[in-house]
Structure formats: structure tokens, C-alpha cells
Amino acid sequence: MSAVHALAAGPALIGLDWGTTAMRAYLFDALGTVVATRASSDGIMRLPQAGGFDAAFEAACGEWLDASPNLPVIAAGMVGSAQGWREAPYVDTPADAAALVAGIVRVTTARGACVHIVPGVIERSELPNVMRGEETQIVGALASDAIAGSARTLVGLPGTHAKWAVVRGARIESFHTFMTGELYAALRDHTILGRTMVEPAAPDTQAFLRGVTVARHAHRAGLLATIFSTRTLGLTGALAADEQPDYLSGLLIGHELSGLAALLESRGATLAQEAPRLIGSAALCERYRLALAEFGCARASVVEAAAENGLWRIATQAGLALHPAIAPREMS
């Protein structure tokens, strides 16, 4: 540890990435280094209405606040939804870190700590789109060197509700939501497609890419005309039971990317020319990277530590942390 870092090594901020099914807490020092983390399954939909948020907050952060009672706290994600601790109304696109700071709402915990909740973002149109938590991750990607200047960048956030955002410079200009992950879970667990499936011992890349290829060449047939092939290929012996889950995953992600390609083309761009930044779990981002390559998009890269970078950047811009010019770093 350098002498400068040693002087600033005391805790300076608590950041919470608090979603529907889980919560992750980060303890930052004054240089923005993450010095401790806590993971919890206390997502907002798993908490009792009376006192649930306070109890979950205490379980994750109480020890840190006992040691440093005046630590500022910032939170992002579904904790700011209508079902969250306190609703933080959406800010409109185009949105940057300054707009998010202006939309912060505050809630006081039972111990008297003030939690600053980051708002989500809404794109108002005939078919509106909203995000909560992803905006902070995108700000975090901007804070790293992954996205810089005034260039236009495509950012993908794979997950239950995958997001694809067009970012120009520091502003989220537009975005689209694909319910790919949730649809996969619903089809696997609650339709006839899951009846013949066997979970593979390891991910089957070949079966996954087969599904991507089918979706890519489906042209106008669309998702509803192709998903039943998960069953019929099994019935005819062309797809083994333990290949079917990855085939269906590839099929759904392939249709997602087909839709994304069409949206980009409507705006004069092509997916193959993009260099997307991917934010999410390493395994899922790798799956998307492989699928993108099938669409001729070979320059996708993964942004690390986006949530914690975003929490730190928004907190420093809001004056909650000590050194707003410094972006966070992972503790080695």
C-alpha cells in the first residue's frame, strides 16, 4: 500500500447495489477502493413489508456503521422502485450522472443513517422503457476507461431483463429491454419444452450456438415460430435432452440480437460494426460475446466492477465522498 493510500485508507462510503432478489454492499475508502463487500439474498421482493428494509440494511452494514457511525450511504437498484424502501422517481433520457444526482431521494434508517437512493431512468415514447440499477452500472462503465469522450457506444447488460443502451459521451440517450432471461426461465419451468430437458453437466456451447444460428436465419418467422423446435428436435432425435437447455438459451439470445440488429438498422447502424461493452456476470457475458460473433460483431468486451464504479462516481458527484475526481479500484 502506498503512503498516500495508507493515509486515506479509512472507510469513506457505503454503496448498495440492491435489486429484486439480492443485495450487495460495498465499503469504500477515501480513494474509492472497495475494501470490503457483503452479499445478501435480501432482495426487495423477499423482505417483509414492516421493518424489512431496516433489518436487511442492518444485517449488511450495521458492523461498518458501528465502527464508523457517520459513513454516507448510497443505494441503487429496485430499492428505489415503488415496491422499494422509498420511491425515487425516474429521470428522463438523455440522462447523465448529474441528472441522477439531482434525482436522489433520501430515507432515514432506524439507527439514524441517511440512505441516498439513486433514481432510475425512463425513455418516454409510444412504448416506454425503464431501468433501475443499470443506469448506475452504465455510469460506472463511463467512469472506468472502457467508455470515454463523446463517442457513441452500445452497452449491453445481459440478465433477467436484458438492456441495450445507446450512450453518447456521458449520457444515456436511448435503450431497449428484452425479457430474455425471464422468458427462458418461464419456458423451461412452466411449459412443455421443459418436460424433455435434462440439465447438462456443463454448458454446451455447440448446442447454444446451434440455437443462435437458427434464430439468426429465422428472418421474419420470429420467436413464436421457432421455439417449439426445442421439443421437436428432441422428439426426432436431433437434439439430446441435455442439449435442449442450451439450445433454447441460444435461440432466445439469438432472437434478442436479431431484434437489436433490426433496431440499430432502423437508425442507420449495423450490429456488425458495433463494439459493444457488456456488463454482467462473466459466464453470461461470455455467452453473449459468442452469440454476437455469430452476428458478425466481433469486438464486444466486458466492463468489470461497473456497479461499484457507478456508486462511487454518483456519490462523489453528489458530494458524499471525499475525492470526487478519483474513480474506484478493486482491492487486490
* Domain CATH for 236: 3.30.420.310
- Domain co-membership, 297 together with 318: no
143 in a domain, yes or no?
A: no
- Domain co-membership, 310 together with 292: no
Question: CA 42: distance to chain centroid?
Answer: 17
pLDDT above 90 covers a percentage of the chain that reads 86
Here the CATH number for the domain that contains residue 14 is 3.30.420.300
289 in a domain, yes or no?
A: yes
- Domain co-membership, 210 together with 322: no
138 in a domain, yes or no?
A: no
252/305 Cα distance (integer angstroms): 27
- Domain co-membership, 268 together with 287: yes
- Per residue in 28-66, pLDDT (tens digit) is 999 999 999 999 999 998 888 778 999 999 999 999 999
- Domain co-membership, 272 together with 314: no
Number of domains in the chain: 2
Domain of residue 120, residue span? 3-133+306-330
239/233 Cα distance (integer angstroms): 5
- Residues paired with 189 in a beta bridge: none
Structure confidence at residue 9 as a pLDDT band (50, 70, 90): low
b/e map 24-51, b = 16+ CB within 10 Å: bbbbbbbbbbbeeebebebbbeebeeee
- Domain co-membership, 199 together with 263: yes
87 in a domain, yes or no?
A: yes
The pLDDT value recorded for residue 325 is 42
Q: The whole model's pTM is what?
A: 0.90
268 in a domain, yes or no?
A: yes
- For 143, the enclosing helix (H) or strand (E) is helix 134-143
